[in-house]
Structure 1
């Protein structure tokens, strides 16, 4: 993997062009994804190694990206710990037994790697299929984000229950976060042992927090997780919605890459980070709805802004939306791959 554009950029080395992958690159915008999804439930897809490998390989085969990312979900750690998880079309994830009190937290298990062995098995199948062609990224949900789902019982617009919990019961919140953090570190190390070439920590809902709460209830646990990773030759990417605000704190956790949302000027963020931390991002995914000349112009505009900067991975500021035209995604990736500094 030393010759991989993605690995080189992740370790802040010079590349002839930015490598490209996209969050949610194996997903609902692909007709081929639906051919599989219509036969199985979402959790069946995650938990059946051959199917997870089939979905992981779709953007490799159809889009020609520079890195694959494991097909799974950030909430499988919460399920392994004892959450009753389900996914409903049009509704999203639900935990039928949300966390409400100290007893619920005490009942959560932390010795759960046997429950997540299917992920390691999927990684081995995927790596056989990739056969060293491009790197495979593993990932996990960060503790605050997983906690928010466990407390809310599903997705939330305002995170009212989660915020009430951390403000009124901070000791219980820390107890819960400590459990999730321990599982998350073990889980990422399980993926590394199984053969992933990089890992990303997704703190999808960090933007719900003010600066002080982010530091106390999110950042400190991300620091703990990253410090425990067996990361030799394995770049670690840190992502959150709100990274344009929280990037200076995120850098203190010593990731190799910080993935930046689309609200920031990427070069400005890069120059405010330590020189050995790469940046990933940060095209607004809504641009992929636009006409192709607009897509090309915006990608080239970003690349010209980042000209001369080592340590830049092209990605979106967040995931691909389900109704973005497949042809537009393919076109964007082709534009990236044709570019040369």
Structure 2
């Protein structure tokens, strides 16, 4: 797959091969900080955008055309698996995702469907449209939400500040939690293998809310299922990136799940994390997204400082420690990518 790409920097870095400079892409790079995104969003609902392959392709291509990134990431959402399983999903402006039928009982968990690939076929269709447009220019990253993170939305009914219901479930009814997590994991395996078959070049598993967990709970209710997913993927040369908020803490455990890359939040020294990982595991990250609000001089200094820390290291993909915020100036994001592209070891 790699040999067909005109720019395969990301794939080489993901497999810890030498690169002339770090590849760059940014989480949420096809998003609300772009006027062009809103030109589309103001005409369609968020789920319409995800479920219409041509529109998903339009949004996916925005940062490719406007920013010059080294990888595209599929425009979709981590919660489409939860919806396919039976969650009544909606997105409310200023509120975020909502499930109208949160899981509260064994009966609710039993009702979750697992044979749902037909309901996610629009994602495979979008991948094929995007790859036609990319013409092998850069890799396309596919993704899914990790089981614990998807569970937290299904149990809470939406976003949460304290994950109280989720933690009560883990502590008081762990058997029920495991039933739900296993179902999500099985769906996620099918979903990611479908994305590989449809033609994506790399995968990322987003465990956005893992930081809510203690070390032991992370191991039991998150790591175990992520490892299960990675073990079942028909990778075929497709590198796998593992992301969670909390990777600065959980990285040693994350490495044992079998990813090719660990995406690191901004709380850690990236070189230190890399030095403490087994050989052959790449790192991605880990600029604090808030740096992109700063003056361009500061943006450049922070990026070059990170690059100096990582000098001499194979297996480094430049990214943010989390996603781009909606009100970060577009010009600052573009400038940051230019700084990376102009760098050479």
The equivalences for 1:248-267 within 5 A come to 248-267=252-271
Pair 1:114-2:118 in alignment: yes
The CA deviation at 1:232 is 2.0
Q: Secondary structure at the match of 1:237?
A: strand
Equivalent in 298, 302, 318 of residue 302 of structure 2:
298
Q: Quick one: distance in 2 between partners of 1:298 and 1:109?
A: 46
Equivalent in 105, 127, 133 of residue 101 of structure 1:
105
The CA deviation at 1:276 is 0.6
The equivalences for 1:261-340 within 5 A come to 261-340=265-344
Q: Which residue of structure 1 aligns with residue 138 of structure 2?
A: 134
TM-score by length of 2: 0.98
Q: Secondary structure at the match of 1:138?
A: strand
Equivalent in 104, 124, 149 of residue 145 of structure 1:
149
Q: Quick one: distance in 1 between partners of 2:340 and 2:228?
A: 35
Q: Quick one: distance in 2 between partners of 1:340 and 1:77?
A: 40
Q: Which residue of structure 2 aligns with residue 70 of structure 1?
A: 74
Q: Secondary structure at the match of 1:269?
A: helix
Q: Which residue of structure 1 aligns with residue 247 of structure 2?
A: 243
The CA deviation at 1:305 is 0.5
The CA deviation at 1:265 is 0.2
The CA deviation at 1:180 is 0.3
Q: Quick one: distance in 1 between partners of 2:15 and 2:210?
A: 25
Equivalent in 158, 162, 165 of residue 158 of structure 1:
162
Q: Which residue of structure 1 aligns with residue 177 of structure 2?
A: 173
Q: Which residue of structure 2 aligns with residue 91 of structure 1?
A: 95
Give RMSD over aligned pairs.
Answer: 0.5
Q: Secondary structure at the match of 1:32?
A: helix
Structure 1 unpaired stretches of 5+: none
Q: Which residue of structure 1 aligns with residue 12 of structure 2?
A: 8
Q: Secondary structure at the match of 1:43?
A: helix
Equivalent in 37, 43, 50 of residue 46 of structure 1:
50
Q: How many residues align?
A: 341
The CA deviation at 1:35 is 0.1
Q: Quick one: distance in 1 between partners of 2:37 and 2:268?
A: 32
Q: Quick one: distance in 2 between partners of 1:181 and 1:5?
A: 30
